[in-house]
Amino acid sequence: MPTPATGDLVVLSKVNKHFGELHVLQDIDLTIARGEVVVVIGPSGGGKSTLCRAINRLETIDSGEISIDGRPLPAEGRELAALRADVGMVFQSFNLFAHKTVLQNVTLGQIKVRGKNRKAADERARRLLDQVGVATQADKYPAQLSGGQQQRVAIARALAMDPKIMLFDEPTSALDPEMINEVLEVMRRLARDGMTMVVVTHEMGFARSAANRVVFMAEGRIVEETTPDRFFSNPRSERAKDFLSKIL
């Protein structure tokens, strides 16, 4: 029996993950409420990407539990495909299908995974492409678009699956500076519209303005977890103070 829906959408408890000798996730406890925007910040190698990948099961975990919407993560098969559709993910590298048009990139999953007909999928895709500001690029191939446009298509593609949560792993890190804002603006709007989001980013302006909570991760642990105001004005841990002194 699925647990009835509560305010908590994602719950990680005592999650551990090793890569060989490296203890990359150490007793991670993290709860994400419906509609919450959690920004994950921290030094490179701290486990942020592994955390995201564990949430949609691109990585297995060694111990602990992860549940989404009251259900434990499925291990395989049809249920795993459904989970992946429920958890939208946007990566640093845009990961679009290079040999499909922009429109096809956004319709494919709707048809194959969600079982929609082409007309319905096309209509939804065009609406989403319009929302992220690339409607006029629908018939082009990814390589013909700028990095910022490609990343906005990647966001539209994830949204087309009607995900319960969106994970963003450094979505603007590979972009030229002038394209960063157009992507952050799409993400800000999503946040305002109530999407549940986990965002790994070094964009501190985004963290301050859009996050409900900042999670500071280093060396496989959640070191600090607080509001953006408190985190930036008064970080408690030496590790966070040191990190902020280097980037601000």
Q: How far is the CB of 24 from ligand ADP (least distance, A)?
A: 4
Minimum CB distance to ligand ADP smaller for 102 or for 207: 207
**Residue nearest Mg ion, CB atom distance:** 49
Residues facing 214 on adjacent strands: 39, 226
Q: Does position 97 bind ligand ADP by CB under 6 A?
A: no
Q: Please, which residue, 155 or 200, has the CB nearer to ligand ADP?
A: 200
Q: Distance between CA atoms of 181 and 184, rounded to whole angstroms?
A: 5
49, 104, 137, 172: which one binds Mg ion (CB under 5 A): 49
Residue 84 touches which of ligand ADP, Mg ion, none (CB < 5 to 8 A by kind)? none
Q: Which does 235 bind (CB under 5 to 8 A by kind): Mg ion, ligand ADP, none?
A: none
Query: Tokens representing 127?
Result: 């609406």
Q: Is 107 near Mg ion (CB under 5 A)?
A: no
Task: DSSP letter for 136, please.
Answer: G
Q: Binding of Mg ion at residue 201 (CB under 5 A)? A: no
Write out the binding residues for ligand ADP, residues 41-80 only, by CB under 6 A: 42, 44-50
Q: Does 215 bind ligand ADP (CB under 6 A)?
A: no
Residue at 175: amino acid letter? L
Quick check: 19 binds ligand ADP (CB under 6 A)? yes
3-state secondary structure of 110: helix
Name the residue nearer to Mg ion (CB basis): 44 or 117: 44
Q: Nearest approach, Cβ of 52 to ligand ADP (angstroms)?
A: 8
- For Mg ion, give the closer residue by CB, 19 or 234: 19
Residue 26 or 146: the one with the smaller Cβ distance to ligand ADP is 26
The two three-digit tokens of residue 135, written as one number: 């409607």
Residues 6 or more apart in contact with residue 191 via CB below 8 angstroms: 37, 197, 210
Number of H helices, E strands in the chain: 9, 10
Q: Which is nearer to ligand ADP, 52 or 102 (CB)?
A: 52
Question: Distance between CA 165 and CA 85 in Å, rounded?
Answer: 10
Residue 151, binding choice from ligand ADP, Mg ion, none, Cβ under 5 to 8 Å by partner class: none
DSSP β-bridge partners for residue 87? 165
* Contact (CB, 8 A) for 97 and 126: no
Closest listed residue to residue 214, CA positions, set 128, 205, 20, 224: 224
22 belongs to the binding site for ligand ADP (CB under 6 A): yes
**C-beta separation of 161 from 113 below 8 A:** yes
